[in-house]
Each structure stands twice: as structure tokens, then as C-alpha cells.
Structure 1
Amino acid sequence: MKRGKAMYLVLPIIAGVAIALQAVFSNKVSQTAGVMQAVFLVHAFGLLLALFILLIGKENFSFIKNFNVYAVLGGSLGVVIIFTIAKSITLNGVFSTVMVSVLIQMTVSKVIDHFGLFGVEKNPINLMHVIAILLMVSGVIIYQRSN
């Protein structure tokens, strides 16, 4: 990887940490208030933070008329994500939940890249991608058998 591009890895590193922490925090809220209540609270606070950032950034809302409907399904998918992760941590633990979630996320992402779904630039799968996915699957199997 080129030196300049390595800096861009900071963002997915932050995202990875945030996903792991969000999973734990959502599970804690669900243990106190219930899973659907946790989903609501997590999204309500997320909405407030996003609105705050939008407002301090002096953004306007003219973008609303220009987006595709499927593009805003991310919020609905967020509900599914919070619900299933909060529930799964109780059943499977944090590491197993995040590990399997990341494996599936990466596999689905590769399918999206390969076919150029949802308007993303095509990035065809190759042998190294298949090997990487198989290694991740092997890691999940090894970890699950060790428990």
C-alpha cells in the first residue's frame, strides 16, 4: 500500500472501533431497557448528534430533493443492525458477534463491489479476494470450535 493511502486507513480503523463499542453499548442498553427500546434510544441519540453536526457545519437541507429512496434505507438497516447485534451479544458474546458480523459484512461488500450494485464502481473478485474470504471463514470456524 502506498504511503499516502495508508493514512486513509485511519477512518476504517475508527469505524471498526466504533462498531465494536456500539455493539457493547447497545447490548448494555438492551439489558436495562429492552432490545427495541435500545434500538430507539441509540437511533434517537444518533439523530441528535447527526443534526448537531449538520447544523454546526452550516449545511442546508436542499440535498433532500436529490437522493434515491433506497439510499436512505441505511437508517432502517441501522434498526436491524442494532436489534440483531444487541440480541446476539447476549447469546453469543461480543467477539463472536462482531467476528461473524464483520465476515458477512466483508463478503456482502465484495459481492456489491464485484457486480457494481447500487451504483458503486465495479471491482471484480479475484483469486486473492476469494482466499482472503476463505481465510476469514476458517478463522471463524477455528474460533467457534475453540469455545
Structure 2
Amino acid sequence: MKAQILYIVVAIIAGAVLPIQAGLNVQLGKSVQQPIFAAFASFLIGSLGLLIYLFILKFNFTSIVQTKTVSPLVWTAGILGAFYVAVVIILAPRLGTALTFSLIVTGQMIISLILDHYGLLDLPVKQINWQRLVGVVFLVIGVLLIRKF
């Protein structure tokens, strides 16, 4: 149970840093009048940070050859991440941070329910039920309230 509480706290922190990252990336994009540069810079610095972390972990880089066995679809994750970061940088100044992220969370929840329900991408199956659907409805209501006010 303690581990699950830790995971929940870490997830909340991860969610909390996304709007901060968006604000910082927006500032970087404005400085060069190009939001896509900010997304590129974000991925470049993030990639360097992760590379350093792999060295700290003493990652066995020879295991990279095992990636030859994964589906080519797996490699699209980087493109999806780049799309996400670029869209946030473009939309946050136009829609506001709260509306941008409430829409993003709503999209995440809808797709997450579908992934869980069918066990897509080798994820565990968790059936859609009325309680989960009510949660999504509350998110949509939240988006509408944030948008209106």
C-alpha cells in the first residue's frame, strides 16, 4: 500500500510539472518566434538528461540490439511525444494553461479507457464501467466550466 501511495504522489508531481514545462517552453519559443524550436530544444535537453541518467545507472548499452525485435509502431512514441510537446507550446498561450491541460487530460482519459478496456498495446484489461464513464463525464464538465470562466 505504501508503494502505491508513493506512485500516486509521483504521478501527481509528474502531472504538476507539465504546465510548468509548458510555460517555460512557451517562453523559449517566443524568444525565437518559433514554438517548434522550443519543442526541439525540450527534447534535446531531455534526451541529454536521460543519457546522463543511463550512464549513472550503468545501463548496458549492448542490450540496445534487442530493440530490433520490437514492432516498428513502438518507435512512433517519440513522434507522439514531440507532437504533444509542440501542441502544448502552441495552444497554451492561445487557450490558457488550464483549458489546454484540461482538454489534454480529457483526451488522455478517453483513450486510456479504450486502451484499458481492450488491453491494447499489451496493457492489462480493465473493463469500462459506469463509474469510469462518470469520471470522464466529470472531466468534460470540468473542461466546460474552465472554458466558460
Q: With the length of structure 2 as denominator, give the TM-score of the two structures.
A: 0.90
Offset, 1:3? 5.5
Change (3 A) 1:3 1:44: closer
The one-letter code matched in structure 1 to 2:99 is S
C-alpha distance in structure 2 between counterparts of 1:70 and 1:22, whole Å:
27
- 2:125 equivalent to 1:122: yes
Give the corresponding residue for 1:16. 15
Change (3 A) 1:48 1:3: closer
Q: Conserved in 1, the CA contact under 8 Å of 2:102 and 2:139? A: no
Q: Alignment partner of 2:126: what SS? A: coil
Give the corresponding residue for 1:65. 65
| Counterparts of residues 1-147 of structure 1 (less than 5 Å) | 5-33=4-32, 34-67=34-67, 68=70, 69-146=72-149
Q: 45-54 vs 9-18, which deviates more?
A: 9-18
C-alpha distance in structure 2 between counterparts of 1:14 and 1:133, whole Å:
21
The one-letter code matched in structure 2 to 1:97 is T
Q: 59-68 vs 86-95, which deviates more?
A: 59-68
The one-letter code matched in structure 1 to 2:52 is F
C-alpha distance in structure 2 between counterparts of 1:10 and 1:35, whole Å:
31
Change (3 A) 1:11 1:63: farther
Offset, 1:6? 2.1
Offset, 1:59? 0.3
The one-letter code matched in structure 2 to 1:40 is F
Q: With the length of structure 1 as denominator, give the TM-score of the two structures.
A: 0.91
Aligned length: 145
Q: Alignment partner of 1:13: what SS? A: helix
The one-letter code matched in structure 1 to 2:91 is S
C-alpha distance in structure 1 between counterparts of 2:66 and 2:134, whole Å:
39
C-alpha distance in structure 1 between counterparts of 2:107 and 2:91, whole Å:
14
Q: CA RMSD in A?
A: 1.5
Offset, 1:64? 2.3
